[in-house]
Structure 1
Amino acid sequence: MFTISRRQALGALAGFAVLPFGRSFADELALPTSPVALNIIDVAGNLQLTQAAIEKFGKENPGLVSKITFSRAPSPELPAKLAAQQAANRVDIDLVLTGPGAMSDGITQGLWIDVWTKYPTVLPKAEDVYLDSALMMQKNFGQNEGVAVVYSPSGPLFEYAPDRVKTIPRNTDELLAWVKANPGKFCYARPVNSGPGWTFLMAMPYILGDKNPSDPINGWEKTWAYLKALDEGIDYYPSGTTVTMKELAEGTRDMIVSTFGWDINPRVLGIVPKEIETFALEGTHWVPDTQFMCIPKGVAEEKVAVLVKLMAFMLEPAQQAYTYDKGYFYPGPAVKGVPLSAAPQESQDAIAEFGRPQYEELIRKFPVEAPLKPEALVAAFEKWDREVGANKMK
Structure 2
Amino acid sequence: MRITRRQAIGGLAAVATLPATRLFAQSRLALPTSPVALNVADVAGNLALTQMAIENYAKAKPELVSKITFTKAPAPELPGKLKAQQAANRLDIDLVLTGTDALSAGLEQDLWVKLLPDHSASLPDLAAIYQEPAHRMLALGKDHGVIVTYYPSGPLLEYMPDRVKKVPTTAEELLAWAKENPNKFLYARPANSGPGRTFLMGLPYLLGDSDPHDPVKGWDKTWAYLKELHKYIEYYPTGTGALMKELGEGTRDMTVSTTGWDINPRVLGVVPKEAAVATLKGFHWVADAHYMCVPKGIADEKLAVLLDLMSFLLTPEQQAFTYDKGYFYPGPAVKDVPLSMAPQESQDAIAEFGRKEYADWIANNPVEIPLEPSSMVVAFRRWDEEVAGKKS
TM-score computed with the length of structure 1 as normaliser: 0.91
Q: State the alpha-carbon separation in 1 of the partners of residues 337 and 317 from structure 2.
A: 8
The AA in structure 2 aligned to 1:190 is R
Q: SS in structure 2 opposite 1:347?
A: helix
1:281-314 residue CA offsets vs partner (Å, 9 max, x unmatched): 1110111111111111211221111111000111
Aligned to 2:77: 77
Do 1:48 and 1:325's aligned partners in 2 also have CA atoms closer than 8 Å?
Answer: yes
Q: What letter corresponds to residue 41 of structure 1 in structure 2? A: A
Q: 1:246: Cα distance to partner?
A: 1.2
Conservation of the 8 A alpha-carbon contact between 1:23 and 1:121: no
1:27 deviates by: 3.2
Q: SS at 1:212's partner residue?
A: coil
Q: What do the CA deviations read for 1:257-292 (whole angstroms, capped 9, x no partner)?
A: 111111000011111111111101111011111111
Q: What SS class does the counterpart of residue 153 from structure 1 fall into?
A: strand
- Cα 1:335–1:203 change in 2 (3 A) is same
Give the equivalent residue in structure 1 for 2:11.
none
For the residue of structure 1 that corresponds to 2:71, the secondary structure is strand
The aligned residue for residue 340 of structure 2 is 341
Question: 2:176: which partner in 1?
Answer: 177
Moved over 6 A (4+): 20-24
Correspondence for 2:191: 192
Q: For 1:148 and 1:392, locate their aligned partners in 2 and report how far apart those are by CA, in whole Å.
A: 40
Residue 278 of structure 1 is matched in structure 2 by: 277
- Report which stretch shifted further, 229-238 or 196-205: 229-238
Alignment correspondent of 2:244:
245
Name the aligned partner's letter for residue 206 of structure 1: Y
The residue aligned with 2:386 is: 387
1:10 match:
none
TM-superposition CA deviations, 1:123-142 (whole Å, max 9, x none): 01111011110001101x12
The structure-2 alpha-carbon separation of the partners of 1:54 and 1:174, relative to structure 1 and needing over 3 Å to count, comes to same
- Partner of 2:8 in structure 1? none
Shift of 1:25: 4.7
Q: Provide the residue aligned with 1:53 in structure 2.
A: 53
Distance 1:85 1:242, change over 3 A: same
Q: In the superposition, relative to structure 1, how do residues 237 and 108 fare at CA in structure 2: closer, same or farther (>3 Å)? A: closer
Structure 1 contact 153–368 (Cα < 8 Å) conserved: yes
Q: Please state if 1:132 is matched with 2:132.
A: yes
Counterpart of 1:207 in structure 2 is: 206
Q: State the AA in 2 paired with 1:318.
A: E
Q: Distance in 2 between matches of 1:176 and 1:108?
A: 37
CA RMSD of superposed structures (Å): 1.7
1:335-356 C-alpha deviation (Å, 9 max, x unpaired): 1111111111111111111100
> Matches of 2:175 and 2:25 in 1, distance apart?
57
Answering whether residue 95 of structure 2 is matched by residue 62 of structure 1, we say no
1:122 corresponds to: 122
Letter paired with 1:204: L
Query: CA-to-partner distance for each residue in 1:206-262, whole Å, 9 max, x for gaps?
Result: 110011111112211111121122222222222221222111111111111111111
Give the Cα separation in 1 of the matches to 2:157 and 2:375.
25
1:316-362 per-residue CA deviation (whole Å, 9 max, x = no partner) reads 11111000001111110001111111111111111111100101111
Aligned to 2:289: 290
SS in 2 for 1:118: coil
Instruction: For 1:307-326, list aligned pairs within 5 A.
Output: 307-326=306-325
Gaps of 5+ in 2: 1-19
Matches within 5 A, 1:251-262: 251-262=250-261
Q: In structure 2, what residue type is equivalent to 1:26?
A: Q
Do 1:29 and 1:305's aligned partners in 2 also have CA atoms closer than 8 Å?
A: yes
Q: Aligned runs of 1:80-119 on 2, under 5 Å?
A: 80-119=80-119
Over 3 Å counting, the alpha-carbon distance change for 1:267 and 1:34 in structure 2 is same
String of CA shifts for 1:16-43, please: whole Å, max 9, x gaps. xxxx997975332211111111111111
Once the two structures are superposed, residues 154-201 of structure 1 have per-residue CA deviations (whole angstroms, 9 ceiling, x without a partner) of 110111111111111111122122111111211111111111111001
1:358 matched to which residue of 2?
Answer: 357
Amino acid at match of 2:98: T
Match of 1:246, SS state, is helix
Tell me how far apart the structure 2 counterparts of residues 356 and 37 of structure 1 sit (CA, whole Å).
41
For 1:226 and 1:166, how far apart are their aligned partners in 2? 23
CA distance in 2, matches of 1:289, 1:392: 32
AA matched with 1:201 = L
Greater mean alpha carbon deviation, residues 237-246 or residues 127-136: 237-246
CA spacing shift, 1:204–1:87, aligned 2, 3 Å:
same
Maintained 8 Å contact 2:154/2:199: yes
Amino acid aligned to 2:176: A
Cα distance in structure 2, aligned partners of 1:344 and 1:213: 38
1:127 touches 1:135 (CA, 8 Å); kept in 2? yes
Q: Residues 171 and 281 of structure 1 are in contact (CA less than 8 Å); yes or no, is this contact kept in structure 2?
A: yes
Quote the offset at 1:391 in angstroms: 5.6
- TM-score in terms of structure 2 length: 0.92
Structure 1 distance, partners of 2:386, 2:352, is: 41
The residue matched to 1:110 in structure 2 has which SS? coil
Q: State the identity %.
A: 62
